[in-house]
Structure 1
Amino acid sequence: VKEKTVRNQIKSKVGRYYSEDTIKSDIQSILGLNSFENVEVAVDTATWRVTFQVKEKPYIRNINFKGNKKISTGKLKEEIPLKEKEFFDNAKLEESKTKILSLYADKGYADAKLEVYPTIDENTNQMTISFLITEGNRIVIGSINLEGVKAFKPKKILKLMKTKPKKVFKEETLQTDLKEIEKFYKNNGYIQVKVGEPQISYNPQRTLMNISIPIDEGPKYKIGQITFSGNTVYTEQELRKALTVKPGQIYHDEDFQETRQALVELYSDKGYLHSQIEPEFNPHPDTGIMDINFSITEGPIVYLGKLYVDGLTSTKEFVIRREVTLKEGDVFAAPKIRRSLEKIYNLGFIDSVEPEIQPTDKPEVMDLVLNIAEGKPGVLSAGAGYSSIDQLVGTLQLQHINLFGRAERLNLLWEFGARKQNYEIDWTEPWFLNRPMSLGLGLFNTERVRDYGSVLSAYTEGRKGASVRVGPRLSDYLSLLFSYTYEEVHVFNVDQAVNAGIPAGQPLNVTETNDVSSSILGQVIWDTRDNIFDPSRGNRQSLSTQLSGGPFGGNINFVKPIAQSSWFFPSFWKFVFTLNGTFGMIQNFGSSTDVPIYERFYVGGAETIRGYQYREIGPANGGKMMLVFNAEYKFPIVQEKKRTILQGAFFFDLGNAWTSANDFSWEIGEAENKLHAGVGFGIRFTTPVFPLRLDWGYGLNHKPGEEQSQFYFTIGNIF
């Protein structure tokens, strides 16, 4: 070790005051290099000269292995913490010995012996370490005997175990198996089961291990009376509603623990965080009945003392605090904590939130610490995609969902291709003037070539304008949205063949226009979803009405109400079943003799009924009434940091659009006015910043000659 390296570790310097505490600290710093066995200090009080006398640890030159045949020298050197060309460390030597024996035990050589022979060259202080290994015989499990098993076939119990004949014995695996056996019995009514200590024996050659496991099953019990004691906050009837087990059922330990936890959560909902729910079992072996009494110690109501937010790097602390429903001094109610965590996750740029409850000097007051891990709030993406609507389209997008650390959202989008040019700028402030009310501004300029039948360029539709929106939130679940949009709509390059009905047999009736639309939209939203980006439970209901023209100007007059209902149901593990229904109508009024073609409803494609081309279902020139149903069954494929990143989905879609209510039909079929259905599957890349969908749909009600299936690659969720 170079002298400079040691000097860099000490704080004692020439010209500084001598300090015993500093000297002691310096000794520990030098030892912290892990290069020295001993450090002593000599002090000349006449000159105050300080000398650090150090003794280096031996330097490991070589590590040798002898007697190893079943495990290579390279593998052993790789696995042990002791390394060549490092200073010797006795603790690492002991760890290495344990590791070597463990490696052999994993391969069945539980009788392996190990001897260590270190030699030191006194002149160079370099060490050679030799490991002498006696491998012995390989031992595998010969048999497993279950003693006392009467209620079940032994094979049923053995299937629960990962310890099996002909496999290498592992103590930790056997201990896990014993717990699994006990759990199995307790989940089948044998609450008093006792799984004893396994007895192990060997054959004379010590190559086979025989394991005998004693099991005292005890009686099988059904649940008898369930009573409660000590409860004052809840009535017995209210407590019974929380039970998931009922009298007469065979005792199932996991279900019982869920019931106990449900009672704990019931008290937590009202702030009784110190409540204790202790079951008292009263068995009747002669009848096989187990009466259970829940002894309840309610404790005091707990209030929130201080709220702390830790872990933020770029986000302002008030952004997190304003999402917390629970305020300092409030009753520490568990539902408010859960909802607060959901709201924080719904910001989109938070990877994890870990709540930590800390006691104070008052038992009725608890502090709450929110440990936050931030994610990536923005992304710059460029790519290309293909769809049956726009064919090849390039995309350049800059999106930030935590602008300036204030949770503001900014989206810049440019889509370009032979059939589509689109520019969008959108900004949203979620808490305008520090109130629960969003403010948003948007600019857009889109030009898209529309097709009709075999005519790929039936007409071109251009739309440019601006919008402003305000969204007051009345509660955690209820919100309103008001928006005003001004846009200029230009329909041009009309191919007159489509008006003659040449490609599809039905005239499109589209004319070149230069329209101005000035509209307001009002929307009521009820949203109880746990996660707005990837919901697993809850629902979202919305009712909106758009009014264009009339007192707001422009030459386009229509009213357009739309109702949407989405439901999310958790299934087993993290599978989620989702249902969605959308109904819309549009009606012209005033000087407008009809609804413009570009404002009508079009069904078919990635956003409505998959398995069909865009706008393939219903009237060619769009409908004035629309009804769509969607069902999806989603399941996780890849998860990261408790979030699903990639998921799969099976889906079923059903719907149509009609010119008027008189054309509506509940029948499913190929006819234009009948409901059309599609099925398929897809994958979702579920990120808050850039959600992607890749779906394959198969249409069930195509006419002869139409394409039966379609692929879709889109941004955003269908509902």
Structure 2
Amino acid sequence: MFKNSLKLLLALLILGYSNTIIAQDIKLENGKQYILADVEVTGKFQYSEQTVVTFTGLEKGQKIIVPGSDISAAIKKLWKLGLFRDVNFYVNKIQGDSIFLELNLHELPKLSDVKIQGIKKGKAEDLLKETDLKKGKIVNENLITTTKNYIENKYRKDGYYNSKVMITTIPDSTDTEVKMLVSIDRGDKVKVKSIHFNGNEQLSDSKLKKAFKNTKERSVFRIFKRSKYIKDKYKEDLTAVIEKYKENGYRDARVTSDSVTYDNKNNTIAIKVNLEEGKKYYFGNIRFIGNTVYNERQLNQLLGIKKGDVYNGVLLQKRIADNSKPDGEDITNLYQNNGYLFSTINPVEVKTYNDTIDFEIRITEGPIAYFNKITVVGNDRTNDHVIYRELRTKPGQKYSKELLVRSIREIGQLGFFDAENIKPDFKNVDPQAGTVDIEYNVVEKGSSQIQLQGGYGGGGFIGTLGLSFNNFSARNIFNKDAYKPLPMGDGQKLALQLQGSSYFQTYSLSFTEPWLGGKKPINFFASLSHSKQFLYNYSTRDVTRDQSFNITSLSAGVAKRLKVPDDYFTLSTSASFQYYDLNNYNTGLFTFGDGASRNLAFTVGLSRNSKGSNPIYPTYGSEFSITTKFTLPYSLFNGIDYGDLKNDPSYKVFYQGPGYFNSNNNWVPNNSYLAENGDAVADPNDAALNRAKYDQKRFNWLEYYKVKFKADWYTRVYDKFVLRTLGEFGFMGAYNSERGVVPFERFYVGGDGLANFSLDGRENVQLRGYPNNSLSTTDGGTIYNKFSVELRYPITLAPAASIYGLSFLEAGAAFNDFQEFNPFNLQRSAGFGLRVFMPAFGLLGIDFAHGFDNVPGTGIKSGWQTHFIIGQQF
């Protein structure tokens, strides 16, 4: 009996298993076939016995040899499940040729709770999500090892070179569950004490250290790139050093050895890199082989490298294929933008003599490729036609990488998807047929926003409720099944805003259809708003309800995407009408307390927007716009002589003080109001009344024109840093100098640029570092200019929240007319800030800015100002 049991154990050990078949006081005959009568399953497990037996592949009545391949196969299957810590077969009894087996199983424990210590609670919660340590997960050695390695590597990548993680499991009240304790000791970040290069004679230490993009020496002056050591990044930096040599002609440069020495006492490392520079090379003859579509002159012009130039391997590769720019001006894109998807371009060194290298650029053009099937996946809420109409890639069209990149941008600009995760997948690439299928993968993000805020301003509490549905579907308004909570998916925009306090209310509704008629990119937009303000005493905070001022506004327009000069251009036209209704409202905003004023204006704008695919954080491109807003020249046909109105003595009293007209019709100041030689005398009691009558005629229909220009650039300058440069200019004028410029629609410069509560159509121009509207006169400016430079860095661009930091320099000013306009007389500021964009709430931010100049009219330097940004994107 013992001998037979031992043979069974040895047979299983040979197969690589520690689990055994044990015959207890039962004699097995070697090589004998038995009939399996029954398999009894015992131990601790949660599955039914029948399920376990079925999975082993063993069946009652089958002929088996014990030990044998059938039992071994059953054990393999059970182990592969990864659910058990013990698998044992026992022979219960033998009756003639029948054998009865027992399968004893013990499941691996499951996770009941996880506790992470050594880091902050918020960080621990994030780590639980990253490692996927959930309740009910099976705990085995592999889980413990992979979790430990992941956490240690995570912190080492952040510079915690000595991070240690210890994971222990504690049995719960039952044998089937365990609690896990993860103890994290990050240690201190390892700083780079020194970086020494040996063997470098042609390139200085400072140049080579700059090539180390990720590994930097410790320095108190280092702000943006902290000193830390990450092994993988360090290896990348060694490669970058060789690339730096190749840029300067040293093709044979190499790292002969390097060392990283750790100082445990000071928690620093010292890096030594030994280099062999080799000699400096120059470009020799460059020939193109295999080109039939483009001649050598065209290719050489794009290559931009001439015989005798210093050898630059990095530049050569960029001119062949610039992997850092998907739309770069290189030879590969030249071919791929014209259908040659299957083309290959390889630079080959064919001859090296002395210090000169000859090259052949070997081109295999291949057949022209065409787009076949174009599909989009991942859009759960947005309807297909909203995406397809933005695509530049069409079935049957000649393949173009440029159109592919442009399509990605257009999808991102919709604002409905995570711009960082729009990926075109190439499917069914068939060189023989010359076709390729493109599948765009998109990830939906929240497109609707809610604005709910309250604050104290203008002498009282102001509450705002705003709802913006940026992917609305008007055609499904009457489809009750489409309300989730509103009909969505057609790319339209519907916005509603309610704002109010004890002394004013504002209601507004706007709608935008980006593809009017669904056939062409013609944007239609319309808005309706109504404001009501009661007379308010800021000192006593009393509201007078029988004195009010109402504005009703209506506007509509269209914007069409152009094809010439290119399809980044948009031409827009719109018309707007405002009706101002005053009811016993005497405040100084108007000189008449009862009456009405009307503003019928037309706007024409031309813009070009080529900003990158992410509208929240563009990394390249630009936006230029010029806009003209104007009214009809009523002075030409309304029959009013505004010069005669100004000569009314009462009007002169109001504007220029007491006096009279002399015999030459000139105004003579005279505080006694006494006439000389019978000249007309102005009655000061009638001055305000006559001024009100005059201004009622002036402002019955507003008359003005306004021109604005804006230029906005985005450039990636280093790593993830993006430089934004901005210039703005605005001018407002009058058709009739006697009538003058109206006191509406003016420019108010300074502050956060938010549309603060106002009733005169003013435009608030942001210039941080100064109080709101402080750089304009009380009546507003008719001219302004502004310049801004902003350096941005993304903290995260995740769909749930895009966050980036920024620093800026700004300068600008407002002027009353061209006589005092000086584009170099500017108020300057500098500062830093943070932006957070969440799909449900829009853009939120804060800026800390220092104004270097005096606030006009105060003689006091502005100094530090804090600005809160809500809902703006700039």
TM-score w.r.t. length of structure 1: 0.71
Q: Please state how far the C-alpha of 1:272 moved relative to its aligned partner.
A: 1.6
Distance 2:403 2:204 in 1: 49
Q: Please state how far the C-alpha of 1:314 moved relative to its aligned partner.
A: 1.0
Q: 2:743 aligns with which of 597, 609, 613?
A: 597
- Are residues 568 and 282 of structure 1, via their aligned partners in 2, closer, same or farther at CA, if it must alter by over 3 Å? same
Aligned AA for 1:698?
G
Q: Contact 1:81 / 1:96 at 8 angstroms: preserved in 2?
A: no
Q: 1:579 aligns with which of 726, 733, 743?
A: 726
Q: Contact 1:582 / 1:629 at 8 angstroms: preserved in 2?
A: yes
Q: Please state how far the C-alpha of 1:422 moved relative to its aligned partner.
A: 2.6
1:73 is matched with which residue?
A: none
Provide, for residues 553-600 of structure 1, a one-character-per-residue CA deviation record: whole Å limited to 9, x for no partner: 99424242423231304141332232222333243679x955542334
Distance 1:678 1:474 in 2: 38
Distance 1:27 1:185 in 2: 56
Q: 2:568 aligns with which of 469, 474, 477?
A: 477
2:562 aligned with 1:562? no
Q: Please state how far the C-alpha of 1:281 moved relative to its aligned partner.
A: 2.0
- Are residues 530 and 390 of structure 1, via their aligned partners in 2, closer, same or farther at CA, if it must alter by over 3 Å? farther
2:152 aligned with 1:5? no
2:538 aligned with 1:381? no
2:826 aligned with 1:665? no
1:329 is matched with which residue?
A: 396
Q: Contact 2:586 / 2:593 at 8 angstroms: preserved in 1?
A: no
Q: Contact 1:31 / 1:38 at 8 angstroms: preserved in 2?
A: no
Q: Contact 2:603 / 2:627 at 8 angstroms: preserved in 1?
A: no
- Are residues 469 and 156 of structure 1, via their aligned partners in 2, closer, same or farther at CA, if it must alter by over 3 Å? closer
Q: Contact 2:367 / 2:431 at 8 angstroms: preserved in 1?
A: no
Provide, for residues 40-71 of structure 1, a one-character-per-residue CA deviation record: whole Å limited to 9, x for no partner: 999xxxxxxxx99644258689xxxxxxxxxx
2:245 aligned with 1:191? no
Q: Please state how far the C-alpha of 1:397 moved relative to its aligned partner.
A: 1.7
Q: Please state how far the C-alpha of 1:368 moved relative to its aligned partner.
A: 0.7
2:858 aligned with 1:705? yes
Aligned AA for 2:743?
I
1:259 is matched with which residue?
A: 319
Q: Please state how far the C-alpha of 1:541 moved relative to its aligned partner.
A: 1.9
Q: Percent identity?
A: 21
User: Number of matched residues?
Assistant: 628
Q: 2:796 aligns with which of 627, 634, 639?
A: 639
Aligned AA for 2:843?
P
Distance 1:192 1:318 in 2: 55
1:135 is matched with which residue?
A: none
Provide, for residues 480-500 of structure 1, a one-character-per-residue CA deviation record: whole Å limited to 9, x for no partner: 33333333213567666x59x
Distance 1:100 1:613 in 2: 48
- Quick check: 349-358 or 364-373, which moved more? 349-358
Aligned AA for 2:435?
V
Q: Please state how far the C-alpha of 1:344 moved relative to its aligned partner.
A: 0.9
Secondary structure in 1 aligned to 2:442?
Answer: strand
Distance 1:547 1:102 in 2: 66
2:627 aligned with 1:543? yes
Provide, for residues 513-566 of structure 1, a one-character-per-residue CA deviation record: whole Å limited to 9, x for no partner: 422334443333333333554443222223333336969999424242423231
Secondary structure in 2 aligned to 1:220?
Answer: coil
Q: Contact 1:58 / 1:88 at 8 angstroms: preserved in 2?
A: no
Question: Which structure would you say has the larger Rg?
Answer: 2
2:765 is matched with which residue?
A: 608
Equivalent residues in 2 for 1:128-277, closer than 5 Å: 179-195=239-255, 217-243=277-303, 247-261=307-321, 262-277=330-345
- Are residues 194 and 365 of structure 1, via their aligned partners in 2, closer, same or farther at CA, if it must alter by over 3 Å? same
Q: Contact 2:616 / 2:873 at 8 angstroms: preserved in 1?
A: no
Aligned AA for 2:745?
E
- Are residues 469 and 100 of structure 1, via their aligned partners in 2, closer, same or farther at CA, if it must alter by over 3 Å? closer
Q: Contact 2:815 / 2:821 at 8 angstroms: preserved in 1?
A: no
- Are residues 686 and 391 of structure 1, via their aligned partners in 2, closer, same or farther at CA, if it must alter by over 3 Å? farther
Equivalent residues in 2 for 1:403-422, closer than 5 Å: 403=472, 404-417=488-501, 421-422=505-506
1:514 is matched with which residue?
A: 596
- Are residues 3 and 250 of structure 1, via their aligned partners in 2, closer, same or farther at CA, if it must alter by over 3 Å? same
Provide, for residues 381-418 of structure 1, a one-character-per-residue CA deviation record: whole Å limited to 9, x for no partner: 3223566x787643222222112111111222223346
Structure 2, unaligned runs of 5 or more: 1-42, 63-72, 92-99, 111-127, 163-174, 178-191, 218-227, 262-268, 322-329, 473-487, 639-698, 754-763
Secondary structure in 2 aligned to 1:300?
Answer: coil
1:443 is matched with which residue?
A: 528
Q: 1:487 aligns with which of 578, 588, 605?
A: 578
Distance 2:494 2:151 in 1: 57
Equivalent residues in 2 for 1:315-354, closer than 5 Å: 315-351=382-418, 352-354=421-423
Q: Please state how far the C-alpha of 1:305 moved relative to its aligned partner.
A: 0.7
Distance 1:677 1:423 in 2: 35
2:470 is matched with which residue?
A: 401
Distance 1:308 1:200 in 2: 51
Distance 1:153 1:520 in 2: 62
1:358 is matched with which residue?
A: 427
Aligned AA for 2:423?
E
- Are residues 369 and 587 of structure 1, via their aligned partners in 2, closer, same or farther at CA, if it must alter by over 3 Å? same
Secondary structure in 1 aligned to 2:744?
Answer: helix
TM-score w.r.t. length of structure 2: 0.59
Structure 1, unaligned runs of 5 or more: 43-50, 62-77, 110-123, 127-140, 202-208, 500-507, 670-675
Distance 1:317 1:555 in 2: 50
- Quick check: 574-583 or 370-379, which moved more? 574-583
Distance 2:616 2:152 in 1: 50
- Are residues 650 and 587 of structure 1, via their aligned partners in 2, closer, same or farther at CA, if it must alter by over 3 Å? same
- Quick check: 375-384 or 312-321, which moved more? 375-384
- Are residues 342 and 353 of structure 1, via their aligned partners in 2, closer, same or farther at CA, if it must alter by over 3 Å? same
- Are residues 41 and 184 of structure 1, via their aligned partners in 2, closer, same or farther at CA, if it must alter by over 3 Å? farther
Aligned AA for 2:397?
D
2:809 aligned with 1:651? yes
Distance 1:156 1:526 in 2: 40
Q: Please state how far the C-alpha of 1:260 moved relative to its aligned partner.
A: 1.9
- Are residues 390 and 313 of structure 1, via their aligned partners in 2, closer, same or farther at CA, if it must alter by over 3 Å? farther
- Quick check: 375-384 or 601-610, which moved more? 601-610
1:134 is matched with which residue?
A: none
Q: 1:680 aligns with which of 788, 813, 830?
A: 830
- Are residues 258 and 386 of structure 1, via their aligned partners in 2, closer, same or farther at CA, if it must alter by over 3 Å? farther
Q: 1:691 aligns with which of 834, 843, 848?
A: 843
Distance 1:627 1:210 in 2: 55
